[in-house]
Structure 1
Amino acid sequence: MSEEFPFVGTGSGMTDTTATEDNLSMCREYAWDFEKNCFLYNGNGQHIMVEGVEAVKVWVYKALQTERYQYLAYSWQYGIEVKPFIGKVMGVQERYSEIKRIIIECLMVNPYITSVDSVEFTATGDKVVCEVDITTVYGEVNVNV
Structure 2
Amino acid sequence: MFPKLDLDNIVEELQFEEKKNEGKTFLFDFEKGDFVIKDGRLVEVEGKEAIKIWIEKILRTEKFKFEVYKADENINEYGTTIKKLIQGKKVPQFFLQSELKREIEEVLKRHSEIDRIKDFRTEQEVATLRICFTIILKNGETFNQEVNF
Give TM-score scaled by structure 1 length. Answer: 0.73
Where in structure 2 are there 5+ consecutive unaligned residues? 1-10
SS of the equivalent of 1:73 reads helix
Whether 1:23 and 2:24 are equivalent positions in the alignment is no
Offset, 1:136: 1.9
Residues 37, 140 of structure 1: alpha-carbon distance in 2 compared, 3 angstrom cutoff: farther
In structure 2, what is the equivalent of residue 3 of structure 1?
none
Whether 1:68 and 2:68 are equivalent positions in the alignment is no
1:1-145 matches, cutoff 5 A: 23-24=15-16, 25=19, 28-44=24-40, 46-76=41-71, 77=76, 78-82=78-82, 84-85=84-85, 86-137=87-138, 139-145=141-147
Offset, 1:29: 0.6
Number of corresponding residues: 125
Residues 57, 98 of structure 1: alpha-carbon distance in 2 compared, 3 angstrom cutoff: same
SS of the equivalent of 1:79 reads coil
Of structures 1 and 2, the one with the larger relative CO (CA 8 A, separation 6+) is 1
RMSD: 2.3
Query: Displaced runs of 4+ in structure 1, greater than 6 A?
Result: none
SS of the equivalent of 1:106 reads helix
Offset, 1:66: 0.4
Q: Counterpart amino acid of 2:62? A: E
Deviations 1:84-140 (CA, angstroms, capped at 9, x unpaired): 534444211111111111111111111121111232111111211001211124521
Q: Counterpart amino acid of 2:91? A: M
Residues 57, 75 of structure 1: alpha-carbon distance in 2 compared, 3 angstrom cutoff: farther
Question: How far apart in 1 are the matches of 2:115 and 2:96?
Answer: 25
More helix by share: 2
Native 8 Å contact 2:123 2:129 kept in 1: yes
SS of the equivalent of 2:65 reads coil
Residues 119, 75 of structure 1: alpha-carbon distance in 2 compared, 3 angstrom cutoff: farther
Residues 36, 53 of structure 1: alpha-carbon distance in 2 compared, 3 angstrom cutoff: same
Larger Rg over CA atoms: 2
